[in-house]
């Protein structure tokens, strides 16, 4: 019976954390959702704590990532209905299980390392472990639901601290406040409970004060640079049509009309979504000719989402593609090109190819796999260097930080999202909002079916499209060359916390 109560308690905390991102948007729950797991980790043995952590993580990541199942049905890709159902379910379970492993390791580590330490030491080690595990997680291909992203885009005031050391700053803040609240319940004396409460309130006030200072309007405006009138075309083109000749005609028509409208309205730059016109570029294709003629006529530079031939000399298959954005102006030259680096497993490449190759290859509508671009790409344009990301890359802060530190002045994010539920698009928008804050940059988001938008350096959404609608919009954005602490030094907080944690634990171990 006690074990069942522990399981339900851990699951309750995980469900609360699962309610923080869209579609529920109860971001404030993140500041208390870790309390059950913290308390359990201080009472249970390591093995039991790991199990409770896994339950917490399964509920959190399972709820937050349930949109993955909306890729079903994939009959338009030639995958039978039941096969599509089981594939979508299996992918969701595998990704959720990976998240559960991480929270299980954290809870186990808390049980093993912190039960006999004071509150300050527990909090420091807890932050070091959670942030460290998230960093390790971000090295792989399945990264999305870091604790820090639960606050975006609704809690902009507190989210400003991510300028200090990136997403892990917010993760550490959430762990710290949860830990102090949990310790109020765990401590036996009123004096100790009061100290924990005062510490939690003081930290929250300090974070809010920093956020208010960062969000002063005149402070941000004074450091804006060159203005650009940027246009977005949201083509609202269902993926099921990408494999049909009539669909190609609709896509070209939608983007041609949008380009002409924005060019006539005074746009200086136009952005289309990921794979907006899904033909090989710069190869001539008569089906793309109306769009090409419009660009030749107006000569307004446009970022065209499409496929390119591989530029990777080590590619296994010379027929592979790149998922790319091409900056063109009708001159016949590619002004700039960005090739997607972070590819989606199964959708763009085959993981564990020797084992799963024949089984998974049928899932892709392409004749070959997508080749990843260089992780050290820098995108130079007529306006200066830009920070560019395609789709899934929005979840990886280090990608944005690298390009910003190298001189990137404006974020361009292009994605498709047409095959997922609308709340996935909301979560994707939240990722780009967080990246804008960390980098202190304006962001232009062009998506196929929503949400497209413009975001300022404080994360405020200046304009946001509807979902599943065809839209164009023109907005003035600004080039910036400011450098946040995160851009200058990267995630310096996590290694610092790890060093302090090792020192604390070593001192405790060898003096007792």
Type and span of the H or E element at 6: helix 2-18
244 is catalytic: no
Give the CA-trace dihedral at 81, 82, 88, 94, to 10 degrees: -170
411 in Cβ contact with 402 (< 8 Å): no
CA distances from 385 to 63, 378, 382, 412, 499 (A): 38, 7, 8, 11, 36
Residue 466 to residue 33: CA distance in whole angstroms: 31
Expressed in percent and rounded to 5, the helix, strand and coil fractions of the chain are 55, 15, 30
What backbone torsions phi and psi does residue 164 show, to the nearest 5 degrees? -75, -50
Catalytic residue among 183, 214, 340, 348: 340
Look up tokens 């200086």; give the residue: 268
> Three-state SS across 199-265?
HHHHHHHHHHHHHHHHCCHHHHHCCCCCEEEEEEEECCCCHHHHHCHHHHHHHHHHHHHHHHHHHHC
Look up tokens 């496929």; give the residue: 307
Residue 22 to residue 154: CA distance in whole angstroms: 10
Residue 7 to residue 1: CA distance in whole angstroms: 10
59 is catalytic: no
Catalytic residue among 59, 127, 196, 391: 391
Residue 219 to residue 215: CA distance in whole angstroms: 8
302 in Cβ contact with 330 (< 8 Å): no
391 is catalytic: yes
Catalytic residue among 214, 274, 369, 393: 274
Rg, Å, the chain Cα set: 24
Burial 176-196 (b: 16+ CB within 10 A, else e): bbbbbbbbbebbeeeeeeebb
Residue 500 to residue 172: CA distance in whole angstroms: 14
Type and span of the H or E element at 112: helix 81-113
Nearest to 68 by CA among 347, 294, 286, 260: 347
Question: So which residues are the catalytic ones?
Answer: 274, 340, 391
């Amino acid at each position: 019976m006690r074990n069942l109560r522990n399981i339900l308690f851990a699951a309750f905390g995980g469900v609360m954390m699962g309610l923080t991102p869209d579609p529920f948007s109860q971001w404030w729950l993140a500041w208390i959702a870790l309390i059950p797991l913290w308390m359990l980790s201080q009472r249970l043995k390591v093995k039991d704590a790991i199990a409770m952590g896994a339950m917490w993580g399964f509920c959190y990541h399972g709820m937050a990532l349930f949109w993955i199942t909306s890729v079903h049905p994939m009959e338009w890709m030639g995958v039978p209905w039941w096969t599509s159902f089981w594939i979508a379910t299996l992918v969701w379970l595998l990704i959720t299980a990976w998240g559960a492993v991480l929270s299980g390791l954290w809870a186990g580590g808390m049980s093993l390392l912190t039960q006999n330490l004071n509150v300050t030491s527990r909090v420091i080690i807890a932050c070091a472990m959670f942030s460290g595990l998230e960093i390790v997680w971000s090295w792989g291909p399945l990264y999305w639901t870091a604790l820090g992203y639960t606050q975006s885009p609704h809690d902009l005031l507190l989210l400003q601290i991510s300028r200090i050391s990136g997403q892990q700053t917010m993760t550490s803040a959430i762990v710290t406040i949860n830990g102090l609240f949990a310790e109020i319940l765990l401590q036996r004396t009123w004096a100790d409970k009061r100290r924990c409460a005062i510490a939690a309130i003081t930290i929250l006030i300090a974070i809010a004060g920093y956020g208010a200072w960062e969000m002063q309007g005149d402070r941000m405006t004074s450091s804006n640079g060159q203005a650009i009138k940027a246009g977005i075309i949201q083509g609202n083109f269902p993926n099921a049509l990408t494999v049909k000749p009539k669909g190609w005609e609709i896509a070209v028509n939608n983007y041609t009309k949008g380009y002409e409208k924005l060019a006539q309205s005074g746009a200086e730059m136009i952005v289309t979504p990921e794979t907006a016109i899904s033909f090989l570029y710069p190869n001539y294709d008569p089906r793309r000719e109306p769009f090409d003629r419009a660009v030749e006529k107006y000569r307004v530079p446009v970022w065209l989402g499409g496929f390119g031939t591989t530029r990777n000399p080590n590619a296994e298959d010379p027929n592979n593609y790149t998922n790319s954005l091409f900056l063109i102006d009708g001159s016949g030259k590619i002004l700039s090109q960005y090739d997607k680096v972070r590819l989606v497993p199964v959708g763009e490449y085959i993981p564990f190819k020797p084992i799963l190759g024949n089984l998974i290859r049928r899932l892709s509508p392409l004749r070959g796999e997508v080749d990843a671009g260089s992780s050290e790409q820098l995108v130079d344009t007529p306006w200066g260097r830009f920070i560019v990301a395609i789709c899934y890359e929005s979840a990886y802060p280090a990608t944005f930080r690298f390009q910003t530190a190298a001189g990137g002045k404006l974020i361009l994010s292009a994605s498709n999202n047409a095959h997922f539920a609308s709340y996935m698009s909301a979560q994707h928008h939240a990722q780009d909002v967080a990246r804008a804050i960390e980098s202190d940059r304006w962001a232009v988001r062009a998506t196929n079916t929503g949400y497209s938008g413009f975001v300022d350096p404080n994360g405020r959404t200046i304009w946001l499209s509807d979902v599943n609608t065809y839209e164009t919009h023109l907005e003035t954005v600004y080039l910036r060359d400011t450098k946040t602490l995160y851009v200058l030094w990267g995630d310096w907080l996590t290694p610092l916390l790890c060093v302090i944690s090792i020192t604390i634990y070593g001192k405790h171990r060898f003096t007792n």
